[in-house]
Amino acid sequence: MKCFLISDNVDTQMGMRLAGVEGVVVHKYDEVMSALAEVTAKDDIAAVFVTKKLMELCKTEIETMKLTLRKPLIVEIPDRHGDSHISETLSGYVSDAVGIRI
The tens-digit pLDDT sequence of the chain (102 residues) is 899 999 999 998 998 999 999 999 999 999 999 999 999 999 999 999 999 999 999 999 999 999 999 999 999 998 766 655 555 555 665 666 666 555
**CA 70/CA 80 separation, integer angstroms:** 29
Sheet strands (E) in the chain: 2-7, 22-25, 45-51, 73-77
For 2-98, the fitting CATH number among 1.10.3720.10, 3.40.50.720, 3.40.50.10580, 3.40.190.10 is 3.40.50.10580
Residue 102 is predicted with a pLDDT of 56
